[in-house]
Structure 1
Amino acid sequence: MPTGGDAQVREAMMLAATQADIAFSNSSVALVHGVSRPIGAHFHIAHGLSNAMLFPAVTAFSVHAAPGRYADCARALGAAAITDGDTAAADKLVDALGSLCRDLAVPTPHDYGIDQDEWNCLTPIMAEQALASGSPANNPVVPTADEILELYSRIYA
């Protein structure tokens, strides 16, 4: 396993972080980031991990509003063939993201050790904070607070 002293690994991570920042600067972020931020703030989960926890569910929530765009992502990822129709390809992306999270053992909030009562108590506040961040407004489907609550509920366990 590489350590912090591995110059090649550090260089690759810096390049990846720079490329991600360039992408965010050119396109902004959307729902997954907006609902992820409050998880990190309230439960001290790294932003990347909370994004991973949410990514399949948020994609499934959003995919019907922009199947062509999600299909392009599925094809680029290799989760769908060029010959797959957009809806089928977009659905394959959702499946591929779920598989990837399982393969990488991305925990649910429950698996991470978050108490369900505390989670349920804070999710209404988190939903309001997510909406206030502005990120959900960039999503193909702009959710209501109740829909964000459903997403939080769906990913808990």
Structure 2
Amino acid sequence: MANDLDALEDWAGVLLNKLEPAARSKLARSLAQKLRRSQQQRVKQQHNPDGSAYAARKPRELRGKQGRIKRQAKMFQKLPKASYLKTKGDGQSIAVGFTGRVARIARVHQFGLKDRAETNAPEVRYEQREVLGFTEADLESIRGLLLTYLTN
């Protein structure tokens, strides 16, 4: 994946350097927003960038009061909201990532690290779930947007 990004940077870098700084910033912001939308959709669908489904949650007791069974909600329901998934695009770079406390949660799942579910709970190793990452469709949409922007 890194090789694809390097190749894309080499291909588009020369052309992008010829653009005015304002045009470059505008292009970077639109690319960042497009990437955020694709990441949001992928997280809502519970899929890794390679297309595989996220690792399932560990089973847990979902009974509250007697006779009631809670439904187990999907993982990361609020994570893809724009208030948590921020974009930044200027003339030099594009960034799509999480902020605040949510960033820690996303990092633990992204890399399969150890964390506590609650205060005073035992440390648990989480399964790796790639919350952020490039798909082939993302790379193609970046190439397409660059081509349309540079040809106009």
- TM class by shorter-chain length? under 0.3
Identify the structure with bigger relative contact order (alpha carbons < 8 Å, sequence gap 6+): 1
TM-score by length of 1: 0.27
More helix by share: 1
More strand by share: 2
